[in-house]
Amino acid sequence: MKIEFVEKRVADLEADVEIIFVIDKRLDHRWVQDRELLERLGFKGEVEETCLLPERGRLYVGAKLDHDEIRIAAAKAVRTLKKKGYRSAKVGVYIENCPITNIKAFVEGALLGRYSFDRYRSKREEHSLKEIFIAHEEYSGKEFTAENARKSIGEAQKVAQTVNFVRELVNTPPNEIYPERLAQIAQEEAERYGLECQVLTEEELAREGMEAILAVGRASVHKPRVIHLTYRPDNPKAKVVFVGKGLTYDSGGLSLKPSDYMVTMKSDKSGACTALGVVIAAKRLGLPVEVHSFLGAAENMVGGDAYKPDDIIRAKNGKTIEVRNTDAEGRLVLADTLCYAQEKVPDLDYIVDIATLTGACVVGLGEYTIGVMGESEELKGKILDAARASGELAAQLPFNRYLPKLLESKQADISNISSSRYGGAITAALFLKEFIEEKNLKRWVHLDIAGPAYLEKEWGYNPYGATGAGLRLAVKWLQKEFLFSKKHP
Ligand code: BES
Ligand code: ZN
Ligand code: ZN
């Protein structure tokens, strides 16, 4: 769908339908021209409430002047128009405090809300809406330049398109995407955008001493891969590493998941797909940071060759791990991938891992919120600020001196599960911490996206299925941290 800025007032624009936001239920605003009719129809202007007046060519949508509410309202508008046959729509600009924020929010909401995964449907419901025109008219008379508007639209498009790319990858079923395919796709994307891409095959993983990821993937006919993508701008202000959990399927392994819990586990590659999206977005936005994304890809299956509870395996950094549950496989894959990433980028400034790591995180924070864990209060704070500014939900879960004890093993350096039923999201993060080098401890942050990565019930501008969780947060953090700053540290 095209989104275009036109230097005209709304009334002077040609389009099939006009989208009008009713802010704070204020039907008395000047731009609400159909107040009487709307009232007769019982339209109150509640958030996400819509009213289409086809004979007048107007769609009213309840909204608030908050950037995430604008995203939600834009998504609602676009979805409402899905089966109505309109090809083009027009809209004015509503400023809260910054015109740019709201234009961006509108564009992101419209593009994110329009997305659906229908590649496998023989009978697709085509979305008729192909074009939205944004007018150079601010409803309360505030000024902004066309140049700024165009720039914001372009940026928002890049971000939203990348989120939709991540969603499409995550939604693609496990019979089509397995580690080798994910590596191929990463290579294709790298070629397309001019990124470096290196793929480690099974043999190379063995040579690197990455027994943990190999153990997890051993029972599958589709062998593990570690994929390393790099975006190198001139004079980067910093080096930032992203590490993503890429379980193209998580059956649980011998600690087999009950059937009800196994469905949707194609989404266990979400972290890796987001990490891939981040390096693409950084390149497309031309961010002044060197970005490395490492994707740990494996398929956790059962079979005669499967790794077992009781196995003791040695990770890349030499630490031995007692496997007590083969369904706690993400942390094993990440252990090796984190070690490899730190070895490859020895002078990194930040290292962020992203993973659908624990059901416990979903229990603790709910399905909408990303769990943020790490050793640096300052870094976690910045991630939470970026989340807020991006419209993603995030909350931090605290470490303490007692929790690490729960990971002690009697026979190896560490156990892959906690001895307690409680605090599972944090103990999983503490397990990862064992694979972070001392000098990187304050540079590291862990994002558990198990809740928001994949939905079985849509909310806001997120459709059923994959959401691309973590991408907007990560991009916003890179922008806030590096776009206007001097060289790091
Ligand atoms: N991929 C799952 C975590 C998950 C659960 C993601 C629900 C998305 C939705 C992970 O590999 C897993 O199975 N974790 C176990 C850990 C346990 C065995 C310590 C879990 O959370 O139950
Ligand atoms: Zn698992
Ligand atoms: Zn998993």
Q: Which atom of ligand 1 sits closest to the CA of residue 453?
A: 8
Give the pLDDT score at 191.
98
Q: Which atom of ligand 1 sits closest to the CA of residue 357?
A: 3
* 150 CB burial (10 A radius; 0-12, 13-18, 19+): middle
Give CA–CA dist 8/466, Å, rounded.
37
Give the pLDDT score at 488.
55
Regarding whether 427 and 380 lie in a shared domain, the answer is: yes
CA distances from 317 to 110, 314, 332, 335, 408 (A): 46, 8, 12, 9, 18
Q: What is the value of pTM for the model shown?
A: 0.98
Task: Compute the distance from residue 329 Cα to the ligand 3 centre, in Å.
Answer: 6
The domain boundary, picked from 112, 141, 170, lies at 141
Pocket test for ligand 1, best of 257, 331, 358 (most atoms within 8 A of CB): 358
Regarding whether 202 and 115 lie in a shared domain, the answer is: no
Task: Compute the distance from residue 471 Cα to the ligand 3 centre, in Å.
Answer: 19
- Please identify which residue in the block is written with the tokens 């299956």: 301
In tens, the pLDDT along 200-242 reads 999 999 999 999 999 999 999 999 999 999 999 999 999 999 9
Regarding whether 273 and 419 lie in a shared domain, the answer is: yes
Regarding whether 440 and 323 lie in a shared domain, the answer is: yes
Regarding whether 300 and 231 lie in a shared domain, the answer is: yes
- Paired tokens of 418: 């906690």
Of the candidates 247, 307, 237, the residue with the CA atom closest to the CA atom of residue 450 = 247
Give CA–CA dist 330/351, Å, rounded.
17
Q: Pairing state of beta strands 444-448 and 350-355?
A: parallel
Residue 148 lies in a domain: no
Residue 391 lies in a domain: yes
Give CA–CA dist 350/444, Å, rounded.
6
Q: Which atom of ligand 1 sits closest to the CA of residue 252?
A: 13
Which residue type does 174 have?
P
Residue 211 lies in a domain: yes
Rg of the chain on CA atoms, in Å: 24
Pocket around ligand 1 at a 6 A CB cut-off? 250, 268, 325, 327-330, 356-360, 362, 417, 424, 450
Contact 382, 480 (CB under 8 A): yes
Give CA–CA dist 95/92, Å, rounded.
10
Residues paired with residue 226 on neighbouring β-strands, in sequence order: 200, 296
Residue 342 lies in a domain: yes
Give CA–CA dist 69/45, Å, rounded.
13
Q: Pairing state of beta strands 225-231 and 290-300?
A: antiparallel
Regarding whether 261 and 130 lie in a shared domain, the answer is: no
Residue 281 lies in a domain: yes
- The residues, any chain, with a CB within 8 Å of residue 245's CB and separated by 6 or more, are 268, 269, 270, 271, 272, 296, 330, 333, 334, 353, 354, 355, 356, 357
Residue 168 lies in a domain: yes
Residue 29, helix vs strand vs coil: coil
Task: Compute the distance from residue 357 Cα to the ligand 1 centre, in Å.
Answer: 6
The protein residue whose alpha carbon is closest to atom 16 in ligand 1 is 328
Residue 450 lies in a domain: yes
Give CA–CA dist 183/188, Å, rounded.
9
Give CA–CA dist 475/489, Å, rounded.
19
Regarding whether 109 and 252 lie in a shared domain, the answer is: no
Give CA–CA dist 335/342, Å, rounded.
11
Residue 255, helix vs strand vs coil: coil
Ligand lying closest to the C-alpha of residue 245: 3
Of the candidates 410, 390, 384, 400, the residue with the CA atom closest to the CA atom of residue 479 = 390
Regarding whether 389 and 332 lie in a shared domain, the answer is: yes
Q: What angle separates helix 146-171 from helix 471-478, to the nearest 10 degrees?
A: 140
Regarding whether 466 and 319 lie in a shared domain, the answer is: yes
CATH at residue 269: 3.40.630.10
Regarding whether 224 and 125 lie in a shared domain, the answer is: no
Instruction: Say if residue 288 is preceded by a cis peptide, omega within 30 of 0.
Output: no
What are the residue numbers of the active site? 257, 331
CA 150 to chain centre: 25
The protein residue whose alpha carbon is closest to atom 9 in ligand 1 is 450
225's enclosing H/E stretch is strand 225-231
Question: What are phi and psi for residue 257, nearest 5 degrees?
Answer: -75, 145
Give the pLDDT score at 94.
86
The protein residue whose alpha carbon is closest to atom 5 in ligand 1 is 359
Of the candidates 92, 49, 53, 52, the residue with the CA atom closest to the CA atom of residue 73 = 49
CATH at residue 34: 3.40.220.10
| Residue 112: domain span | 2-141
Regarding whether 290 and 418 lie in a shared domain, the answer is: yes
Give CA–CA dist 95/392, Å, rounded.
21
Q: Which atom of ligand 1 sits closest to the CA of residue 356?
A: 6
Q: Is 107 left (phi over 0), alpha (psi -120 to 50) or beta?
A: alpha
Residues of the chain with pLDDT under 70: 96, 486-489
Give the pLDDT score at 487.
60
Contact 298, 224 (CB under 8 A): yes
Ligand lying closest to the C-alpha of residue 453: 1
Question: ∠ CA 93-94-95 to the nearest 5 degrees?
Answer: 115
Q: Pairing state of beta strands 290-300 and 239-250?
A: parallel
Residue 398 lies in a domain: yes
Regarding whether 425 and 276 lie in a shared domain, the answer is: yes
Contact 225, 208 (CB under 8 A): no
The protein residue whose alpha carbon is closest to atom 3 in ligand 1 is 358
Contact 425, 397 (CB under 8 A): yes
Pocket test for ligand 1, best of 213, 327, 449 (most atoms within 8 A of CB): 327
Task: Compute the distance from residue 162 Cα to the ligand 1 centre, in Å.
Answer: 26
Task: Compute the distance from residue 329 Cα to the ligand 2 centre, in Å.
Answer: 5
Number of domains present in the structure of the chain: 2
Give CA–CA dist 265/284, Å, rounded.
30
